[in-house]
Amino acid sequence: MAIKTYNDYFSRIKKMRKNLYIAGEKVTRDDERLSGQLRIIRETYDRANDPEWEDLCTATSHLTGEKINRFTHIHQSVDDLLKKQRMTRLLCHRVGGCIMRCMGIDVMNALSVVTYEMDQFLGTDTNQNFLKYLRYWQDNDICANCAQTDTKGDRLKRPHEQVDPDLYLRIVESRPDGIVVRGAKIDNTTAPVSDEIIAIPTRFMTDKDNDYAVAFAIPADWEGVKMLVRPTRMHKVKYGQAPGAEMGDAESFTIFDDVFVPRERVFMDGKADPRQTPFAGFLALLFAHYHRHSYTGCKPAVSEVLASAAALVAEYNGIERTSHVRDKLCHMITTAELVFAAGQMSAYRAEKSSSGTWIPDEILTNAGRKLAGEEIYNEFKIVADLAGGLCATLPFEEEFFSKETGKLANKYLMRNPKISAENQHRCFRGIEGMIVSEVAGVMQVAGLHGGGSPQMEVITMMGRYDLEPLKNIAKYLFGIEKELPKYERPTVTPRKMLERFREMYGKA
Ligand SMILES: Cc1cc2nc3c(=O)[nH]c(=O)nc-3n(C[C@H](O)[C@H](O)[C@H](O)COP(=O)(O)OP(=O)(O)OC[C@H]3O[C@@H](n4cnc5c(N)ncnc54)[C@H](O)[C@@H]3O)c2cc1C
């Protein structure tokens, strides 16, 4: 059966070569410090095996007709896009934030389109490599990270202009049986517990950057791959066990130290074939696009998770009916609903690419992601505001359970007399993890930068949005033009880019 269990997955990664470095130690994937991240990934396997979640968390493979985990599916319809977005939202509720398995499937969808288009224009056969790899992916319910973000050195310089040519991942050797790559990718979420790493370019490349137009997949413990891992966890609890307290994150600064990638796992090689270089930008953009669409599922959930804590603590503090509290909760709910609606609508306005994969509307997806990114710190601020300072200064759990201080600690914790001291304690302990722990800090920056820094959404939107028909409205209203042509923004998918390729390479 293609859908695997968490145990299948965990026994695979436990056996992997030791190439994780945590605080000066070389460790295996069952290191305790990765348990928070593993707990989150577990949810993606458990729910796919849960009949109640079958409709959302499984799909039918277009390759084999078999039932597969939706985290390994290539979107074949609008309904698939909608379900992926809903699945992401609902699973994020269960783990209290990011579900951390979307990068893999977002990059696979992007590769399904780009490898197909590239073959059409150039007569290459990278899509065959991709489809073989996809089959392996689906059959084994693979968990993967997309390693897109290069270290990038001087931000204003292109890859070939950097003082050190390795500051963007590059091909140092291309030969018939494969490529050798050197460089590093950073901020790789879930990579430390992933089966596979899929590396793709981070930006558009010029004809001087052919060596940097590279995409491939390798097992995460492959020879030459070194992961410098930063795990974070919610503060651990000893007495008040709670699902939210089990979660954590693990990020990798991944070094590719002259890594050989076999040819069948290479999806782009600008060094051997510079005609592939312009497709680097297309791939970078399309991964970001699918990933931002995933954000329209996870980010509403993050807003809801934070809003749920804000509403609960307001009740426990006895302030829930005051007008400023209602205004603040309403603001958070508004963000969640609008971001989700943007993603939903972008799915309804999706277009089928020639590869058969569906691509959501770019303006709506980016607008949703942009709003989410702008609001993230404000949402954390609202929870802190309504909770009061205790969420940051709460004494350790032991003091609430010790003979000497327990009774007193619980007595003075009391706020709303209808709520037991135990639940007051649970609420503040939970909020402490949610907004004051180390992982909370990571989630804030993730909400801002994940899927691209906020400016990237502006660049994408303004690159796609046609302002001329928009200006016609003002021209008509101001009497500059006599007529106002009917204007409704058309769906925007990367069609323009394909037109560019058509000009460059002739009709595909
Ligand atoms: C928790 C977390 C998880 C992540 N997970 C992943 C992952 O799994 N895989 C992955 O590939 N990436 C991941 N990322 C990386 C994320 O996509 C990047 O952080 C994001 O794209 C921004 O890139 P950067 O961090 O290099 O910042 P930069 O691009 O350096 O941005 C810093 C500032 O510089 C500005 N800037 C940059 N270039 C220019 C320019 N040319 N001109 C003017 N201003 C400029 C930006 O607008 C921004 O204000 C993750 C990030 C976080 C925080």
Q: In this predicted model, what pLDDT tens digit does every residue of 409-426 receive, in sequence order?
A: 999 999 999 999 999 999
Identify the sign of the CA torsion 212, 217, 223, 224: positive
Coil, strand, or helix at residue 228? strand
CA 362 to centroid of ligand 1, rounded, Å? 19
Nearest CA to ligand 1 atom 28: 453
Nearest CA to ligand 1 atom 29: 453
CA–CA gap between residue 430 and residue 97 (Å, rounded): 13
Percent of the chain having pLDDT more than 70? 100
Q: Greater confidence, 496 or 171?
A: 171
Give the least confident one: 97-106, 233-242, 342-351. Answer: 233-242
Distances (CA, A) of 474 to 244, 469, 478, 481: 51, 10, 6, 9
- What H or E segment, with its residue span, contains residue 219? strand 214-219
pLDDT at residue 508, rounded to an integer: 58
Ligand 1, CB cutoff 6 Å, lining residues: 103, 145-149, 152, 155-156, 187-189, 442, 445-446, 449-450, 452-453, 455
pLDDT at residue 30, rounded to an integer: 97
CA 146 to centroid of ligand 1, rounded, Å? 14
Nearest CA to ligand 1 atom 12: 149
Query: What is the average pLDDT value for the chain, to the nearest integer?
Result: 96
Ligand 1: nearest atom to the Cα of 249: 1
* Site of tokens 């968990």: 143
Question: For a pocket test of ligand 1, which of 146, 449, 459, 462 has the largest count of ligand atoms closer than 8 A to its C-beta?
Answer: 449
Render pLDDT for 358-412 as a digit per residue (tens, 0 to 9).
Answer: 999 999 999 999 999 999 999 999 999 999 999 999 999 999 999 999 999 999 9
Nearest CA to ligand 1 atom 19: 449
Where exactly are the structural domains of the chain?
6-280, 292-463, 471-505
Nearest CA to ligand 1 atom 38: 155
The pTM (predicted TM-score) of the whole model is 0.96
Q: 124-129 — which CB contacts under 8 Å span 24+ positions?
A: 124/273, 124/276, 126/266, 126/267, 126/268, 127/355, 129/263, 129/264, 129/265, 129/266, 129/267
Q: Does residue 265 register a pLDDT over 80?
A: yes
CA 156 to centroid of ligand 1, rounded, Å? 13
CA nearest neighbour of 358 among 101, 55, 113? 113
CA nearest neighbour of 161 among 205, 199, 122? 205
Q: Does residue 454 register a pLDDT over 90?
A: no
We find that the CATH architecture of domain 6-280 is: Beta Barrel (2.40)
Using an 8 Å Cβ cutoff, are 221 and 202 in contact?
Answer: no
Ligand 1: nearest atom to the Cα of 155: 38
Question: For a pocket test of ligand 1, which of 102, 149, 156 has the largest count of ligand atoms closer than 8 A to its C-beta?
Answer: 149
CA–CA gap between residue 96 and residue 311 (Å, rounded): 15
Q: Does residue 507 register a pLDDT over 70?
A: no
Ligand 1: nearest atom to the Cα of 156: 41
CA–CA gap between residue 200 and residue 298 (Å, rounded): 23
Contacts of 385 (CB under 8 A, 6+ apart): 328
We find that the CATH architecture of domain 292-463 is: Up-down Bundle (1.20)
Q: Does residue 236 register a pLDDT over 90?
A: no
CA 93 to centroid of ligand 1, rounded, Å? 26
Ligand 1: nearest atom to the Cα of 452: 21
CA 287 to centroid of ligand 1, rounded, Å? 14
CA 454 to centroid of ligand 1, rounded, Å? 9
Q: Does residue 495 register a pLDDT over 80?
A: no
Amino acid at 261: V
Sheet with 225-233: list strands edge to edge: 25-27, 20-22, 225-233, 248-262, 178-189, 170-175
Percent of the chain having pLDDT more than 90? 93
CA–CA gap between residue 451 and residue 288 (Å, rounded): 6
CA 283 to centroid of ligand 1, rounded, Å? 17
CA–CA gap between residue 85 and residue 299 (Å, rounded): 10
Q: Is 173 exposed, middle or buried (0-12, 13-18, 19+ CB in 10 A)?
A: middle
Question: For a pocket test of ligand 1, which of 37, 143, 152, 187 has the largest count of ligand atoms closer than 8 A to its C-beta?
Answer: 187
Q: Is 15 exposed, middle or buried (0-12, 13-18, 19+ CB in 10 A)?
A: exposed
